Structure formats: C-alpha cells, structure tokens
Amino acid sequence: MSTIPFQQAKLVELHCLEPVFFASRELSDTYYTEGLIGNYALTYALGLVNSPYRLQGQATGRPTYKEDLQPIAQNVYILPASPIGRVTFRFERFNALSDAYWYAMTNNRVATAREDLPLQRQGKKPNSFRPSNFPQTGRLRMIERGNKFQTLVFGNLQLPAYIRLGKFMSKVKVNVLNELPVTLLPEGEYQTQHYLNVADIPQQIETLAFDLISIPPAPIIKNLRFRGAAWQVGEMIVPAGLHFCGRASSNE
C-alpha cells in the first residue's frame, strides 16, 4: 500500500428531506431501518452505477453488487454514512389488502381473481395462489425527515445537489462540507470512529476490536481498532486500501 489511489476526498453531509426506509431487519410484521446509510446504496443513489428498480427472472437469483461496483472501484470509494447526532425514527403502518368484493389470503399474497373462487372451494390451489415475497400488511420503522448523516467520498467526483434514496426513493439533500487531501500513514495501530463496510476492508488490515451492525447486504462496523496502514483525511483516519468488494476480491 505504498501508493494512494485517491488524492482527495469530500466530506459530505446528507440531509433527509423525507422519511427514508431500508429493510435492515425484519421482526415478525415489522420492518426496521437501522440508523445509518450503506455505502452501496449511496453509490447507486448518486448515479455512479445503475441497476433496475425491480429484478425479474433469473436476475432475482442473486445480487450483482460485485459486477456493478468493481468497474468504478479504481476511481471512487464512498464510506457508509454515519449519523450526525442522535437518529430519530418514525413508525408507519402499511396495508396492501385489496378492496375488491372478493379476496383470499394465501402464502404471503392476496388473491383477487374471481375465477379462482370455484377452485378454492374445491380445495385446489389456483396459479394466483403461488407464494410471494411481498408482504401485504405490517409496520415500517423509517429514518425521520430532518436527520443528517456524514460520509467521505474519495475521488474527483461532481456530486448532485439532491439524490433519491431507499426503498421509497426519498429525497435527500447533498451538501459538500469540505474537500481534503488524502495522506498515507505508515503501518501501526489506529482507531477510527467512521462506519465501515466489512466487505470492503482489505485482508492486510488486522481488525482488533469493533462494534458490529448486522445488516444486508454486508455488515457494517464502527469504533474499529485496527493494525495496518491508514489513510488520513483532515483529522479523520480510516484503514488504507478500502475498495468496493475488496475483501471478496482478495479471496479469489
């Protein structure tokens, strides 16, 4: 790690103008958003990579983060966004049940086709009764509007003034607070307060202690104490060699 792939980094503030929702955890019929914003979600929201809003057919079999992110990994890197102050949430209830004259509850799905009624009475399962992964009722814990988050964006990028973020494409204002040079620090033992994506930390970094936030698609850690080389951005320190899907790449 004798060279630095990024010469500068932007300190960016994200201001939630609308409630933001991600399905970070699911407990019974309640879907919880954790008080952070993942860096993969930010990369898609900033328009650096593109993905269809809804996957269909064979594309639903597995995520394509690695294929999407690796082409840009040499030019840009974004940290997960950590909250500025205490995060506040709001709860909302959703109900996607039909208001049709007839409907039937099936495997996590509501069937409304009247032609299915005779088949149901015969004890058969019509095609519309097939299982679905779209919940019909439940509660959402969302990041309340007004919350602010902070992240570092490595690379020479022109950032938009606003982005759409989360499952509901909520509006978020992007404020660039400062542009700072990136300095390489020699190998040693360091502590960082920034949120980090486990999948992006290179194998050369020895993690000594951290707090784990288990969310998909990859766990996030904070309060990391590590041994290895580091990047310094202003007064902030993060492990050197951060790279989209960097840990998975080094295992190949």
Hey, what are 94's tokens? Answer: 């959703």
Contact (CB, 8 A) for 40 and 189: no
Q: Where in the chain is the domain with CATH 3.30.70?
A: 8-93+141-250
Indicate the pairing of strand 8-16 with strand 170-192: antiparallel
pLDDT at 51: 78
pTM of the predicted structure, to 2 decimals:
0.84
pLDDT at 56: 72
**Residue-level pLDDT, tens digit, the chain, 252 residues:** 457 889 999 999 999 999 999 999 999 889 999 999 999 999 999 999 987 767 777 766 678 888 899 899 999 999 999 999 999 999 999 887 767 666 666 666 666 666 566 666 666 665 555 555 667 788 999 999 999 999 999 999 899 999 999 999 999 999 999 999 999 999 999 999 999 999 999 999 999 999 999 999 999 999 999 999 999 999 999 999 999 998 765 554
Fold classification of 8-93+141-250 (topology level)? Alpha-Beta Plaits (3.30.70)
